[in-house]
Structure 1
Amino acid sequence: MNRQQKGWQQLFLFSLLPLFLAIFGASGWLWWNWAISPAQLNAAKPQQIQIPPGTATQQIGTKLEQAGLIRSKIAWDLLARYISSQKSNGGFQAGTYELSANQPLNEIAQTIWDGKVIQVSFTIPEGWSLRQMADYFQKEKGWFSSQDFIDAASQIDRKKYPWLPADIPFLEGFLFPETYQVTKERITPQAVVQLMLERFEKTALPVYQKSQNQELNQPKFTLKQWVTLASIVEKEAVVQKERPRIAGVFVSRLLKGMKLESDPTVEYAFGIRQTPDKPLTFAQVRKPSPYNTYATPGLPPTPIAAPALESLKAVLNPESTEYLFFVARYDGTHVFSRTLPEHEAAVVKIRRERQR
């Protein structure tokens, strides 16, 4: 073969190179995505698949194949072996996943390797009681019964949480109010309680512990007293800027030996809720209960709600004030008074304004 013939042959081969690359690329793509179901072309709907703890890699492939998410378990096994060889740490993780036959095999595998399980959220507003939380999980979320949640919140694990007060019968006040993300596997009363308790431990407890190491001109509260008073402040305060002043009023009353006379404690004690058109009656505020601060001096036996971090901080740094009384307006703010006659006059004035 002369030089000219060789030149033409090389030119011909080079001209076929793009075709060879296209064929090889297409076949490689087909092999790589061989575990994709034909439903990919029809925009298959995502579906949930659960991988129990301890499931072997090959068993995962079988479950994916049976669910119609992949077509070939062999392709899964090959890819899983390749991923495992490339990554020194980790592994395919258990959990509930939302996957689609539209996804390439490598994307499905990476999702399971990274443990990108389905997460759901729940929100506990500031000032909610255990009962309100329990009803929320049952009626709005439908995750478990309210009684199961109450039971879980009545289990005090002091070995795991040694900082918890020794004389609390349940975790009222210590389940931190916030929005949480949780995996489906953790939707149990015990797991939810643990998650909220751990958030209190991480967010609120350090604030209290730091205050105990500082020289403050304020009375020292025990952990339970701190959370209890903060829960009352939380229920009384609507406007953020009033929290320190309301805390200051209650601290002053405690120092003077006066009863706190807080309406929310009466509501908590007897499971009632007053409204502007139906305020508490004299009979209700005089009814004996350890939680009724009109009838019983000092703080209630336990917190009455889940206080926000702002209320907890307000109790540690209350406003220094001469006010000893306050009454709520109908816009969320309060009228503060120094003496009982001033307070009674403010109550009459607000009621008259309400009747106009």
Structure 2
Amino acid sequence: MAQGRNRRKGVFARKSRTQWVLIAVLALVLGYGVHFLWGWYGPGPLARQASFIVSEGAGMVSVSQELEAEGAVASASTFRARARLLGHAGGLKAGEFILPPHVSGAQILAILQGREGVMLRLFTVPEGMPSVLVHEKLMAQPLLTGPAPMPAEGTILPNSYDYQRGEPRAAVIARMQKAMQTTLADLWAKRSPRTVAKTPQEAIILASIVEKETGKPSERRMVAGLYSNRLKQGMKLQADPTIIYPITQGRPIGRRIRESEIHAVNGYNTYSMVGLPKGPITNPGRDSIAAVLNPADTKALYMVADGTGGHVFADTLDQHNANVAKWFALRRARGEM
């Protein structure tokens, strides 16, 4: 009898423990669920009203990381997870948005999707976009009105510009050109004695070459220094983008440069002429202009691609030829030659 009672007590104890474990698990799940929902619908960490810009083409990963950096969300990855499970379907809108203090994650997504709040529409000109593509993009914007003149190359400052529905396209161009004039005047006043630019227009021309020759911001002053040295020594600049510009007006050429094009004589081809081209070959950004007006103090005269999107620089032709040999070897190893 005692053994039977003990067995029943043991079974009861095991059932009791199982029930408590289930209760604990349910409580944990419920608690996490409440936390998950509160983190989406409850007040967020943003202490004060802030403006937030979503660039054209930006995705959820980069936007959520920027939201975390701005203090609008506690965690970029958690914001994305909640947005996937609890958010409204739809893409993010490009523009500048006003985020109120302690805005919730749900409200942030609604604002960035254009469903709530205040949005300023943005027209974005990336660094190095030629005027022909700026004009095409402007004409394709359905919320703007009226014709737009083709802006002269090098007169548009790459940046993001807010605009209003129904605003004339010509007014947007004028605003972008005014921004370039103001920026150029400010940078010109601070120019270094090392710059080879004798006029603001020369600065824009050389900056447009620097803009097209390197995609690495950290290289801009070095590339500017190299071309400055070539100009000082009366050497040809030999910049490939200056060959392409008269052919496409800045559009991608979509093929390799032909031998006949390398030797073509015109006002832009720096393989067949000494000095600067007759005009800019794109719209350079502020940083490229600043690089030309304050170039690196270097003896470099040559550069070749390094396979990472940047360049290897050389002071002498022998050094350059060795760098070129390494570049060709790398391309052969990649199967590109």
The TM-score range, normalised by the shorter chain, is 0.5 to 0.7
Larger radius of gyration: 1
Supply the distance in 1 between the matched residues of 2:129 and 2:209 (Cα, whole angstroms).
Answer: 11
Partner amino acid for 1:304?
Answer: I
Matched, 1:334 2:334: no
Q: Name the CA shift for 1:117/1:349 in 2 (closer, same or farther; >3 Å).
A: closer
Matched, 1:208 2:188: yes
Partner amino acid for 2:179?
Answer: R
- The structural deviation recorded for 1:302 is 1.0
Q: Deviations over 1:264-296 (max 9, x none)?
A: 111112116467xx5323222111121111112
Give yes or no for contact 2:154–2:282 (8 Å, CA) kept in 1: yes
Supply the distance in 2 between the matched residues of 1:144 and 1:120 (Cα, whole angstroms).
Answer: 11
Give yes or no for contact 1:137–1:145 (8 Å, CA) kept in 2: no
Which segment is superposed worse, 345-354 or 315-324? 345-354
Partner amino acid for 1:136?
Answer: K
| Unaligned segments of structure 2, at least 5 residues | 1-116
Cross-structure match for 2:328: 351
Cross-structure match for 1:245: 222
- The structural deviation recorded for 1:326 is 0.6
Give yes or no for contact 1:266–1:284 (8 Å, CA) kept in 2: yes
SS at match of 2:187: helix
Matched, 1:279 2:260: no
Superposition pairs for residues 139-150 of structure 1, below 5 Å?
Answer: 139=140, 141-142=141-142, 148-149=147-148
Give yes or no for contact 2:184–2:200 (8 Å, CA) kept in 1: no
Q: Name the CA shift for 1:230/1:217 in 2 (closer, same or farther; >3 Å).
A: closer
Superposition pairs for residues 51-66 of structure 1, below 5 Å?
Answer: none
Cross-structure match for 2:174: 194
Cross-structure match for 1:184: 165
Matched, 1:173 2:173: no
- The structural deviation recorded for 1:220 is 4.6
Give yes or no for contact 1:228–1:303 (8 Å, CA) kept in 2: yes
Q: Name the CA shift for 1:274/1:172 in 2 (closer, same or farther; >3 Å).
A: closer
- The structural deviation recorded for 1:341 is 3.4
Give yes or no for contact 1:137–1:143 (8 Å, CA) kept in 2: no
Cross-structure match for 2:299: 322
Give yes or no for contact 1:126–1:234 (8 Å, CA) kept in 2: yes
Q: Deviations over 1:45-102 (max 9, x none)?
A: xxxxxxxxxxxxxxxxxxxxxxxxxxxxxxxxxxxxxxxxxxxxxxxxxxxxxxxxxx
* Alignment TM-score, normalising by the size of structure 1: 0.55
Identity within the alignment, % = 32
- Which of 233, 238, 251 pairs up with 1:256? 233
Cross-structure match for 1:268: 245
Supply the distance in 2 between the matched residues of 1:236 and 1:284 (Cα, whole angstroms).
Answer: 18
Supply the distance in 1 between the matched residues of 2:295 and 2:272 (Cα, whole angstroms).
Answer: 24
Cross-structure match for 2:121: 120
Cross-structure match for 2:199: 222
Cross-structure match for 2:132: 131
Moved >3 Å (runs of 4+): 116-119, 142-146, 217-220, 272-275
Cross-structure match for 1:82: none
Q: Name the CA shift for 1:192/1:219 in 2 (closer, same or farther; >3 Å).
A: same
Supply the distance in 2 between the matched residues of 1:184 and 1:145 (Cα, whole angstroms).
Answer: 8
Give yes or no for contact 1:323–1:336 (8 Å, CA) kept in 2: yes
Q: Deviations over 1:165-215 (max 9, x none)?
A: xxxxxx211211001101123232x2121010111133332111343xx7x
Q: Name the CA shift for 1:228/1:324 in 2 (closer, same or farther; >3 Å).
A: same
Give yes or no for contact 1:118–1:184 (8 Å, CA) kept in 2: no
Which segment is superposed worse, 195-204 or 341-350? 341-350
SS at match of 2:166: helix
Supply the distance in 1 between the matched residues of 2:261 and 2:150 (Cα, whole angstroms).
Answer: 31
Partner amino acid for 1:337?
Answer: A
Supply the distance in 1 between the matched residues of 2:332 and 2:290 (Cα, whole angstroms).
Answer: 37
Supply the distance in 2 between the matched residues of 1:143 and 1:352 (Cα, whole angstroms).
Answer: 51
Q: Name the CA shift for 1:145/1:185 in 2 (closer, same or farther; >3 Å).
A: closer
Partner amino acid for 1:206?
Answer: D
SS at match of 2:128: coil
- Cα RMSD over matched residues? 2.6
Give yes or no for contact 1:327–1:334 (8 Å, CA) kept in 2: yes
Supply the distance in 1 between the matched residues of 2:184 and 2:209 (Cα, whole angstroms).
Answer: 16
Cross-structure match for 2:53: none
Cross-structure match for 1:232: 209
SS at match of 1:259: coil
Supply the distance in 1 between the matched residues of 2:219 and 2:156 (Cα, whole angstroms).
Answer: 24
Superposition pairs for residues 17-28 of structure 1, below 5 Å?
Answer: none
Cross-structure match for 1:4: none
* Alignment TM-score, normalising by the size of structure 2: 0.58
Q: Would you say how many aligned residue pairs link Structure 1 and Structure 2?
A: 215
